[in-house]
Amino acid sequence: EVQLVESGGGLVQPGGSLRLSCAASGFTFSSYWMSWVRQAPGKGLEWVANIKQDGSEKYYVDFVKGRFTISRDNAKNSLYLQMNSLRAEDTAVYYCARVGTVATIYYYNYYMDVWGKGTTVTVSS
Amino acid sequence: SYELTQPPSVSVSPGQTASITCSGDKLGDKYAFWYQQRPGQSPLLVIYQDTKRPSGIPERFSGSNSGNTATLTISGTQAMDEADYYCQAWDSSTAVFGGGTKLTVL
């Protein structure tokens, strides 16, 4: 069974740091792009970052650039999100997702085909 | 930055057809993806590459994408289909989600 299990969420003060982890199982982790997506309380889905199979390419949404870092350890089948300089608006459930790819003649399209249950991050003093 | 617009809510009677739209500039030139999120649950991919259903997704879910609008259609809507639905596209190295549509099955 394909499974993604996030951990590492919690309460942190503004300006603080947190590292999220995602343990993958049931598929060949090293063969897939991976992603983090978040959802603030009562709000919609918001993509955060993607990382290529070997970690050589990373994409981020503008509002986390310079503060968040996505990484992976294929030997441990694990995905990470290092979050620094946290703000109240970063409060959300953070989902780990496996990424599917579809090619057009111009570029690749990425989407999330398997999701974890999420881990909650609360930024508050 | 690219934007996708969805109606905040759609209502449908059980057994009827529900249509949820997603609008974006030249969206038909991209691929549209759709996710279902039931209350308290994680999102679930229901349509990818405009029209394809992942394994395990009922045939009553279908999709289309042309011009500036992608549409998720649920035929013979059931009470269990009541959920939030999000469209998504990929643009300029960024995944973009629509704001979500709450489907109510009355």
**Contact state of A100 with B48 under an 8 Å Cβ cutoff:** yes
Closest residue, chain A, to B47 (C-alpha) = A113
Quote the pLDDT of residue A106. Answer: 80
**Contact state of B90 with A117 under an 8 Å Cβ cutoff:** no
pLDDT digits (tens, 9 = 90+) for A86-111: 999 999 999 999 999 998 878 889 99
Quote the pLDDT of residue A104. Answer: 82
Half-sphere exposure of B98 (CA within 13 A, CB side): 31
Q: Is the pLDDT of residue A3 over 90?
A: yes
A109 contacts on B by Cβ (under 8 Å): 30-31, 49, 89-90
Q: How far is A9 from chain B (nearest CA, A)?
A: 16
Quote the pLDDT of residue A107. Answer: 82
Quote the pLDDT of residue A111. Answer: 96
C-alpha A34/C-alpha A12 separation (Å) is: 25
Q: Which residues of chain B are at the A interface, by a Cβ-Cβ cutoff of 8 Å?
A: 1, 30-31, 33, 35, 37, 42-45, 48-49, 54, 84, 86, 88-90, 93-100
A50 contacts on B by Cβ (under 8 Å): 95
Quote the pLDDT of residue A108. Answer: 87
In this prediction, residues B30-39 reach a mean pLDDT of 97
Q: Is the pLDDT of residue B8 over 90?
A: yes
The overall average pLDDT reported for chain B is 97
Q: How far is B94 from chain A (nearest CA, A)?
A: 7
The b/e string for A35-49 (b: 16+ C-beta within 10 A; e otherwise) is bbbbbeeeeebbbbb
Q: What percent of chain B has pLDDT over 90?
A: 98
State the DSSP string of A15-68. Answer: T--EEEEEEEESS-GGGS-EEEEEE-TT--EEEEEEE-TTSS-EEE-GGGTTTE
**Contact state of A109 with B97 under an 8 Å Cβ cutoff:** no
What is the token pair recorded at A14? Answer: 């503004």
